């Protein structure tokens, strides 16, 4: 007999675990992607699970940011990295460095020189970069980045075993509009719900803030985060303090970026390639070969891998050996290197590494003495010589290693994703990004006075070092009564170096067209209204992108000389508001009003200054111009407000004349079109890219099913061959089942070895496995039947035993009850005999005994109730073995897939 020893608690625990898993699966989740040039780090948060870093299939906490193509298949991460050592021409590294850039950009040209074996061409329409593969087609950078993001999402879904949609992606803070727009397009193609593009150093600062929330006070702390990544070096000055936000009256931590500095082409990669080249020189000195090692892609790829390893080891050790077996022409390579070897290579770059630090301090208007903490971030900062140079720059101040140099940005972005996602509630930490590049708007306006000729003017709409995301900015154009265009462009960037300006790209951002003005005026203008111009709305969104948030024609009611109008006009003049003629004399003026707590509106007017637009009244009252002036007039004093209150009180005491019904302010929406200077992907391009991803996904899914079928039948054959050697399995067979199973297993093993190949289909593997499972399922059914019988028998025995124990306890409780009643009767008799005399000692003893029996009786009842509650029925205890086995099978399958 086979007896399965499973307690009731195990069965119930298993059931609860299954239930909790299903609840978690149905819950919301969010993720972050720290999109570094060399590695991706992925964060995941879901209900009931704290923030964590996602492990990839190789159980690594970071994934190589690579994509490779071979035989119409894609390879990501570790698989692509291994392929790069043997077939580097199939692998595309550092793709994200090229996103949003024209083919002529110096960064693109450097990339082509560094990887001359890659087939890279220029898109004839967009002027951007196109990667061409040997057998899988051609791809623009946005599509390749979309594939990488899609793979990162798949990793998170598999790891978290839950659907995920919301994501925050980290990017360098220096990206311009074209680069940010391209990443947004990539996330759209990948099917992600992008919540925010967050600067990587801001994300690291947020990680620092929420792990040290208690240390943040109302006194500002200035922190400099120094980051050396694979491709770039950045420095970011961040101010941390408690402050009241618009949304909350309580003090909350604020992470405000005050200054940044950067070098797009100076990172850890440049040092790695220097080490590789020197190792190649050492090899050439020691070994004479028929060809130059530098001309062999595979050998140089092996040396690049070894150079990366050596660089990491020397960050912690003083010396090591660089060694590669069969490096070139079957020659082994071994060379001793020490830390000075790395330090000497760094000498020519030391000042360049510190330049971003100087730039960040200059932008923040601080010096080294104003910095409270210097924090290292990025793998490149692990190099001891880098730390020494940074320490010297800050006059001996020791750089701190508070942050995880690899994962801090991913975890900070994950906290932001949880904050922005609907499924979570986290403690508020306000992150204020920095407008690195100021933006101006160029438009035509009429002249002042007699000179009414149209002329072009520029106005700053998003100023240098202001914060984003922003609320809406309002621009009012009064010189146009027909369709017109404006241009958004970067203003003077003279604080950038010549190299940075060359890398930057086009200064033009977009042309905005406002259409439908004539039609709107004809439709809404009448004798009671006057045309006041066009209001356009702009803002910087969570992606750091400037967007037009609509526009509308403003048609206001004409003022009439009623009593109420006279009062309104008097109050308006009292607060400094002039008539239309007075406004015309003032000419062109740009207002910078103090914004209300909930909105930020920068109001600029062309050709003539008109009164601020009154709020549309709920009733047909006159426009509340005096209220508008009160809100926005910066010269209003407290005394003026008091006078206004006194005037209002007098008006309340005097009977008001009957109000005339006045026309309302009319706002007619316009059609707004954007024409970007950077040739963005259009709808057809995006649709086509999505089809490409779907096609690859479909092919890879079929391949995964085929591989699973192949691996499944192979593993099943070996498993059953092993089980046939155990009597616990074979004794349940009947007739010729063992003989037939042995024969089929042998034939299948031979078929797998000799005939199965890449052309074998999933269906063929499944057909070969079917007769095996037919025999095995019959044997396993008998085993399950026996186990179920044993379980039922055991459950019945346990139930019977508990019933007997309960009966004994009930009998004991009844005996105690009778004894209690006897004691009570004796006590009553003794009390009756005494009749008012002092109670005899014996009587007191009887009463005490009765009280004790009452307590024992109550305890007995409690025990009986508890036993009844804890005793499950057989149906509660007995779970189907089929369910358990099927659940086990699902878990094993999920584990294998992961």
Q: Residue 799 belongs to a domain with what CATH number?
A: 1.20.1270.10
- Structural domain including 722 reads 692-831+844-897
Q: Are residues 251 and 389 in the same domain?
A: yes
Residue 9 domain flag: no
Give the pLDDT confidence score for residue 848 in this predicted structure.
56
Q: Are residues 316 and 449 in the same domain?
A: no
Q: Are residues 428 and 393 in the same domain?
A: no
Q: Are residues 569 and 478 in the same domain?
A: yes
Give the pLDDT confidence score for residue 496 in this predicted structure.
93
Residue 2 domain flag: no
Residue 542 domain flag: yes
pLDDT band at 679 (very low <50, low <70, confident <90, very high): confident
Give the pLDDT confidence score for residue 821 in this predicted structure.
86
For residue 865, pLDDT over 80 is answered with no
Estimate the crossing angle of helix 297-313 against helix 77-86, to 10 degrees: 120
Q: Are residues 412 and 460 in the same domain?
A: no
Q: Are residues 734 and 851 in the same domain?
A: yes
Give the pLDDT confidence score for residue 324 in this predicted structure.
93
CATH for 66: 3.30.420.40
For residue 391, pLDDT over 70 is answered with yes
Tally of structural domains, the chain? 4
Quote the CA–CA distance of 552 and 668 in Å, as a whole number. 5
pLDDT band at 857 (very low <50, low <70, confident <90, very high): low
Residue 686 domain flag: no
CATH for 449: 2.60.34.10
For residue 26, pLDDT over 80 is answered with no
Give the pLDDT confidence score for residue 48 in this predicted structure.
80
Last residue of a domain, one of 648, 676, 704: 676
Q: Are residues 473 and 494 in the same domain?
A: yes
Give the pLDDT confidence score for residue 488 in this predicted structure.
92
Lowest mean pLDDT among 447-451, 752-756, 805-809: 447-451
List beta partners, residue 551.
536
pLDDT band at 838 (very low <50, low <70, confident <90, very high): low
For residue 527, report the phi and psi dihedrals to the nearest 5 degrees. -70, -20
For residue 564, pLDDT over 90 is answered with no
For residue 881, pLDDT over 60 is answered with no
Residue 360 domain flag: yes
For residue 3, pLDDT over 50 is answered with no
List beta partners, residue 240.
221, 255
Give the pLDDT confidence score for residue 407 in this predicted structure.
93
Give the pLDDT confidence score for residue 661 in this predicted structure.
55
pLDDT band at 524 (very low <50, low <70, confident <90, very high): confident
Give the pLDDT confidence score for residue 851 in this predicted structure.
56
Most confidently modeled range among 225-229, 749-753, 808-812 = 225-229
- In the block, tokens 């206004």 appear at 644
Q: Are residues 287 and 173 in the same domain?
A: no
Span 168-187, mean pLDDT?
95
Percent of all residues in the chain with a pLDDT value above 70, rounded to a whole number? 77
Torsion angle (degrees, nearest 10) of CA 138, 144, 147, 149: -170
First-to-last C-alpha distance (Å) of the chain: 37
Give the pLDDT confidence score for residue 498 in this predicted structure.
93
Q: Tell me what the pLDDT averaged over the chain comes to.
A: 80
Give the pLDDT confidence score for residue 241 in this predicted structure.
94
Quote the CA–CA distance of 717 and 704 in Å, as a whole number. 20
For residue 337, pLDDT over 80 is answered with yes
On whether the CB atoms of residues 150 and 190 are closer than 8 A, the answer is yes
pLDDT band at 591 (very low <50, low <70, confident <90, very high): very low
The helix or strand, by DSSP H or E, that contains position 564, with its residue range, turns out to be helix 563-574
Percent of all residues in the chain with a pLDDT value above 90, rounded to a whole number? 50
Residue 18 domain flag: no
**Of residues 784 and 10, which shows the higher confidence score?**
784
pLDDT band at 766 (very low <50, low <70, confident <90, very high): very high
For residue 452, pLDDT over 90 is answered with no
Lowest mean pLDDT among 304-313, 462-471, 620-629, 716-725: 620-629
Nearest to 315 by CA among 407, 230, 387, 263: 387
**Of residues 598 and 557, which shows the higher confidence score?**
557
For residue 888, pLDDT over 90 is answered with no
Q: Are residues 448 and 352 in the same domain?
A: no
Residue 524 domain flag: yes
Span 343-371, mean pLDDT?
94
Lowest mean pLDDT among 6-20, 373-387, 530-544, 850-864: 6-20
Span 650-678, mean pLDDT?
63
Last residue of a domain, one of 676, 704, 739: 676
Q: Are residues 480 and 624 in the same domain?
A: yes
Give the pLDDT confidence score for residue 27 in this predicted structure.
52
Residue 21 domain flag: no
Give the pLDDT confidence score for residue 445 in this predicted structure.
84
Give the pLDDT confidence score for residue 635 in this predicted structure.
32
Span 633-646, mean pLDDT?
39
Nearest to 102 by CA among 132, 66, 65, 141: 141
Q: Put residue 313 in one of left, alpha, beta given phi > 0 → left and psi -120 to 50 → alpha.
A: alpha
Question: Global pTM?
Answer: 0.74
Q: Are residues 817 and 727 in the same domain?
A: yes
Q: Are residues 473 and 330 in the same domain?
A: no
Give the pLDDT confidence score for residue 673 in this predicted structure.
72
For residue 568, pLDDT over 80 is answered with no
Last residue of a domain, one of 401, 422, 456: 401
For residue 610, pLDDT over 50 is answered with no
**Of residues 768 and 608, which shows the higher confidence score?**
768
pLDDT band at 826 (very low <50, low <70, confident <90, very high): confident
DSSP string, 574-636: HTT---HHHHHHH-SEE--PPPPTT-----EESSS--PPPPPPPSSSPPP-HHHHHHHH-TT-
- Note the pLDDT tens digit of each residue in 38-57: 999 999 999 888 889 999 99
């Amino acid at each position: 007999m086979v007896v399965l020893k499973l307690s009731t608690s195990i069965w119930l625990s298993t059931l609860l675990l299954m239930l909790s898993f299903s609840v978690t699966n149905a819950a919301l989740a969010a993720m972050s992607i720290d999109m570094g040039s060399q590695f991706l780090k992925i964060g995941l948060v879901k209900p009931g699970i704290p923030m964590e870093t996602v492990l990839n299939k190789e159980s690594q906490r970071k994934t190589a940011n690579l994509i490779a193509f071979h035989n119409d298949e894609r390879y990501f991460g570790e698989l692509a990295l291994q392929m790069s050592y043997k077939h580097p021409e199939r692998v595309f590294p550092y793709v994200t460095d090229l996103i949003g850039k024209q083919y002529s950009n110096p960064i693109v040209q450097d990339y082509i020189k560094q990887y001359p074996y890659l087939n890279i061409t220029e898109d004839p329409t967009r002027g951007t970069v196109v990667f061409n593969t040997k057998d899988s087609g051609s791809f623009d950078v946005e599509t390749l980045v979309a594939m990488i993001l899609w793979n990162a999402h798949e990793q998170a879904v598999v790891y978290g075993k839950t659907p995920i949609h919301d994501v925050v992606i980290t990017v360098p803070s220096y990206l311009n509009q074209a680069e940010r727009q391209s990443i947004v397009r990539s996330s759209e193609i990948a099917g992600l719900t992008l919540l925010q593009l967050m600067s990587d150093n801001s994300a690291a600062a947020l990680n620092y803030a929420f792990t040290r929330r208690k240390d943040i006070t109302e006194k500002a702390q200035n922190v400099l985060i120094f980051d050396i990544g694979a491709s770039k070096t950045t420095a970011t000055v961040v101010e941390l303090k408690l402050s009241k936000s618009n949304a909350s009256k309580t003090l909350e931590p604020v992470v405000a970026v005050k200054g940044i500095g950067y070098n797009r082409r100076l990172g850890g990669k440049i040092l790695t390639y220097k080490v590789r080249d020197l190792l190649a020189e050492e090899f050439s000195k020691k070994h004479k070969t028929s060809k130059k090692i530098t001309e062999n892609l595979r050998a140089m790829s092996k040396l690049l891998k070894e150079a990366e390893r050596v660089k990491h080891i020397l960050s912690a050790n003083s010396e090591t050996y660089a060694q590669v077996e069969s490096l070139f022409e079957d020659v082994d390579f071994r060379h001793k290197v020490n830390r000075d070897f790395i330090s000497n290579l760094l000498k020519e770059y030391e000042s360049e590494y510190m330049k971003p630090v100087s730039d960040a301090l200059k932008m923040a208007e601080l010096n080294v003495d104003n910095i409270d903490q210097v924090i290292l971030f990025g793998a490149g900062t692990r190099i001891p010589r880098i730390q020494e140079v940074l320490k010297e720059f800050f006059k001996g101040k020791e750089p701190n290693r508070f942050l995880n140099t690899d994962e801090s940005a991913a975890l900070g972005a994950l906290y932001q994703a949880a904050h922005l996602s609907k499924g979570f509630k986290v403690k508020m930490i306000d992150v204020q990004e920095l407008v690195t590049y100021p933006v101006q708007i160029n438009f035509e306006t009429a002249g002042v006075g007699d000179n009414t000729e149209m002329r072009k003017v520029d106005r700053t709409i998003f100023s240098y070092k202001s914060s984003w995301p922003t609320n809406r900015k309002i621009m009012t154009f009064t010189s146009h009564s027909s369709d017109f265009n404006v241009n958004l462009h970067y203003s003077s960037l003279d604080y950038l170096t010549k190299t940075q300006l060359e890398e930057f790209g086009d200064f033009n951002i977009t042309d905005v067209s406002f259409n439908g003005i004539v039609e709107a005026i004809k439709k809404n203008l009448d004798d009671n209204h006057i045309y006041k111009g066009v209001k356009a709305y702009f803002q910087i969104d969570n992606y750091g992108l400037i967007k037009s948030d609509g526009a509308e024609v403003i048609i206001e009611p004409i003022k009439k000389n009623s009593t109420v109008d006279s009062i309104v006009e008097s109050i308006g003049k009292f607060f400094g508001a002039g008539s239309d003629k007075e406004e015309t004399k003032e000419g062109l003026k740009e207002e910078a009003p103090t914004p209300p707590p909930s909105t930020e509106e920068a109001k600029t007017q062309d050709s003539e200054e008109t009164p601020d637009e009154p709020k549309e009244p709920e009733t047909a009252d006159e426009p509340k111009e005096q209220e508008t002036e009160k809100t926005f007039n910066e010269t209003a004093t407290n005394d003026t407000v008091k006078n206004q209150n006194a005037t209002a009180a007098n008006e309340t005491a005097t009977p008001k004349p009957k109000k005339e019904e006045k026309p309302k302010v009319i706002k007619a929406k316009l059609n707004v079109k954007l024409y970007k200077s950077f040739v963005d992907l259009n709808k057809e391009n995006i649709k086509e890219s999505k089809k490409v991803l779907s096609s690859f996904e479909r092919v890879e899914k079929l391949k995964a099913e085929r591989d699973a079928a192949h691996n499944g039948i192979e593993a099943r054959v070996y498993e059953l061959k092993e089980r046939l050697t155990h009597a616990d399995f074979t004794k349940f067979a009947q007739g010729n089942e063992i003989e037939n199973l042995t024969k089929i297993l042998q034939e299948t093993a031979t078929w797998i070895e000799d005939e199965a190949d890449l052309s074998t289909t999933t269906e063929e593997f499944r057909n070969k496995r079917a007769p095996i499972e037919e025999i095995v399922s019959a044997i396993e059914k008998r085993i399950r039947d026996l186990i179920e019988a044993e379980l039922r028998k055991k459950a019945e025995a346990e139930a019977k035993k508990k019933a007997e124990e309960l009966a004994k306890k009930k009998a004991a409780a009844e005996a105690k009850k009778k004894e209690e009643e006897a004691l009570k009767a004796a006590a009553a008799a003794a009390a009756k005999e005494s009749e008012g005399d002092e109670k005899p000692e014996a009587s007191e003893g009887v009463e005490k005994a009765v009280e004790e029996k009452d307590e024992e009786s109550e305890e007995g009842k409690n025990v009986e109730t508890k036993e009844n509650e804890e005793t499950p029925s057989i149906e509660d205890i007995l779970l189907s073995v089929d369910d358990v086995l099927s659940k086990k099978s699902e878990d094993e399958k999920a584990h294998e897939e992961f």
